[in-house]
Structure 1
């Protein structure tokens, strides 16, 4: 097909709305890409780093990982960070989102014996980014709590709040002069629900309905404490911003009854984290408090298994984010489920059955169906319920087996960026930036290296871990360069 026909097809596919703004990105809109420490750094016992929960899980329970791999070497970014920055330069992105490894700073999590070598690594990474005109966006916690703290209960132990604050303090003291965008915590649902409530993430405790709620309660307080630390001590001199990133899944029903269940699921999955921070009322969503309390009473508990915030804590947590980070990948259908049993679990509390609509395109990942319209609907849901906050898309991406000619990933990016622009221009949603997940193929948690999200292919059979741009990298580079969506296939 020649370019003229492609252009015509592109215009027709956009519909009438496209003529209003021609799918050009707003002035000041930021493009970036991202990784996280455990997924790319490797060097698991180098440079004074301590053991984290993923080190422990992958070494003692490799059977839980799809390909029985681990992050011991991963992409070797600890030694190859300059190559990573060079890839960001090649893409032309404005920012790079990375995470800092807690046990690389404090090997056991406690605020003594600061590991200066680990701190120096991040300082060099930040300097390299800034020297190349790229904004560093740092996530303070992306799932790798020190194992020594986990041995004491991890996020279920209230003392973790103090440890997290002291960890954040040393980052602000040493890196805050150069980092202006901070994210306290990435995806609390995956940390608490999947790591403490079931076995989909480390530490794989499988204590749903109890440990996940304890984890969440302490995590929200830890986030708020770090926000206040920055606001009270560092903001005036460092002039940065502090946000909080939540994973979004759009839940959608088919009838009035199903819509009620879908809304309840949105509140108990996303609102669990957003409501205490971003709503004007604060606290957990009322429907979540009601359903957990009712089920707890039926099970014979004297009080709800969902911990209760004091009035002072509600006020302390409320409003503690300068922006909302949204990670979005997929959507699910939902309907009410009448669970009669007394099993103690998160699913028994919310009373919702959800599934992927098999009419949606599927990916290599069993949890991942493609629904770009769900992305737009989720953005509108946030706008309507949380007074239109500033939103940064902090992750959005597509898994495959590592294809270089990854045209399906290109389709995924295109359609989701289109949906996001519709939300910006037609629905007035305040989306300020977009992050493609991820910069390169890396350790994809319980799926190991079998599922790959990278813009760059990493040859894991080669000790040098060479990186090769995929078709999607060329496509994303062109979007960033032109600041406009294109359907032209790259040669």
Structure 2
């Protein structure tokens, strides 16, 4: 039996009835339809709505460590609502979900969402009733600084909302874990200078926003996350157009270069945010900070060297693109440089210095991981704006084996143990940091 077949047998024997989050899970952002190209699986409506089976689930009880902390997570646009309340400004998601014709499922928006902005007390009661120990949520930049920039006024009502949320959580024994940015940039920053596409300006504005948050909330918040899933921000917002701001080639956007410029800005602004917190706030506040990266794990489609290389290359494009500079202080993986050429921005001498300086300051490897897929090297030349490394991914390999049992979501086989063990290894071994699974789900 090949090593690949042995690993597959192990995951195929995983109990199908199990459904649990690892540490902190969130409602799915994904649709129930699956296409082998990952670009097709992410739709905007699934950010503002979520669905699940109404069937009774048989849940197998699994032993957990005594110090296991049960958590849940949300994104501001996903749950808050209150889109026009108390001085909140417009984010790129507010703009995107109101485009005509609609780009979301059935025209959904986050204008009301779960109405969390007006139901904080009820929501915390629900968390407590469910035995939640940790709540990870994101701050809405435009609720705090409605226009977004370092020269724009602060919205004290927005500050008061988050102060109240944090205080209520702590009073009920629930630890707040705060994400500074979960996909909802101020629309004004795109209007003024194209936001992430202007590294210098965006980094300065993000640093100002981060400083304000550390100053106002850091006395009680002990775990900070700069960005949630920079890969998704870069690719799904600036190539596929399936998430805000919705850039796609058919609308005249430069999808060949934009995602890599966006990724560069996210890496640099993250390092600046980490340095700011650790140098200026951590000594008094005693918290920690890092970033959350997402990725599937990949197994080769076949035992050919081309597919073995494809699986490794897909991981490097997905995780290494951000993980190597942020956690190791190194350049992006050689495979990304070789494939993308000058499409992938180079780090300046100054940027390399801050990457090396801040790499060991990231306190944990924030990990969002949902499943494993097969990676297959494509024989035909890639499209001009290809972002996969010329790889196709799917749930069935060349021998007809499925990667795992069928789940509630066709695109999401319940195969997580391979990735949870393997994806963060290079980063926590070298950096002596703890891997922290923040989103994971095994679905029936």
Q: TM-score range by the shorter chain?
A: 0.7 to 0.9
Pairing partner for 2:385 from 335, 344, 354: 344
Q: Structure 1 83/345 Cα, relative in aligned 2: closer, same or farther at 3 Å?
A: same
How far is 1:312 from its partner?
3.1
**Do the aligned residues in 2 keep the contact of 1:250 with 1:377 (CA within 8 Å)?**
no
How far is 1:164 from its partner?
0.3
Could you tell me which residue of structure 2 aligns to residue 321 of structure 1?
362
**Do the aligned residues in 2 keep the contact of 1:181 with 1:242 (CA within 8 Å)?**
yes
**Do the aligned residues in 1 keep the contact of 2:381 with 2:390 (CA within 8 Å)?**
no
Could you tell me which residue of structure 1 aligns to residue 20 of structure 2?
none
Distance 1:386 1:353 in 2: 30
Q: Structure 1 292/385 Cα, relative in aligned 2: closer, same or farther at 3 Å?
A: farther
Distance 1:123 1:52 in 2: 21
**Do the aligned residues in 2 keep the contact of 1:62 with 1:69 (CA within 8 Å)?**
no
Q: Deviations over 1:401-446 (max 9, x none)?
A: xxxxxxxx4x5xxxxxxxxxxxxxxxxxxxxxxxxxxxxxxxxxxx
In the alignment, is residue 184 of structure 1 matched against residue 226 of structure 2?
yes
Distance 2:233 2:239 in 1: 9
Q: Deviations over 1:327-370 (max 9, x none)?
A: 111222112123425623323xx122212338334455564333
Q: Structure 1 168/376 Cα, relative in aligned 2: closer, same or farther at 3 Å?
A: closer
Pairing partner for 2:434 from 390, 408, 413: 390
Pairing partner for 1:237 from 284, 293, 296: 284
Could you tell me which residue of structure 1 aligns to residue 419 of structure 2?
375
For structure 2, list consecutive stretches of 5 or more residues without a partner in the other structure.
1-12, 16-60, 249-253
Q: Structure 1 232/26 Cα, relative in aligned 2: closer, same or farther at 3 Å?
A: same
For structure 1, list consecutive stretches of 5 or more residues without a partner in the other structure.
1-11, 15-21, 294-303, 399-408, 412-491
Could you tell me which residue of structure 1 aligns to residue 299 of structure 2?
252
2:119 is paired with a residue whose SS is: helix
Name the TM-score, length of structure 1 as normaliser: 0.71
In the alignment, is residue 45 of structure 1 matched against residue 117 of structure 2?
no
Distance 1:97 1:380 in 2: 20
**Do the aligned residues in 2 keep the contact of 1:272 with 1:284 (CA within 8 Å)?**
yes
In the alignment, is residue 137 of structure 1 matched against residue 181 of structure 2?
no
Could you tell me which residue of structure 2 aligns to residue 8 of structure 1?
none
Could you tell me which residue of structure 2 aligns to residue 210 of structure 1?
257
**Do the aligned residues in 1 keep the contact of 2:369 with 2:416 (CA within 8 Å)?**
no
Distance 1:315 1:29 in 2: 37
Distance 1:154 1:125 in 2: 28
Q: Deviations over 1:99-158 (max 9, x none)?
A: 000000111111221000011000000000011111110000000001111222121112
Name the TM-score, length of structure 2 as normaliser: 0.78
Pairing partner for 2:197 from 142, 156, 159: 156
Tell me the matched-pair count: 369
Distance 1:215 1:385 in 2: 28
Q: Structure 1 211/240 Cα, relative in aligned 2: closer, same or farther at 3 Å?
A: same
Could you tell me which residue of structure 2 aligns to residue 307 of structure 1?
345
**Do the aligned residues in 2 keep the contact of 1:249 with 1:329 (CA within 8 Å)?**
yes
1:59 is paired with a residue whose SS is: coil
Q: Structure 1 166/81 Cα, relative in aligned 2: closer, same or farther at 3 Å?
A: same
How far is 1:384 from its partner?
7.7
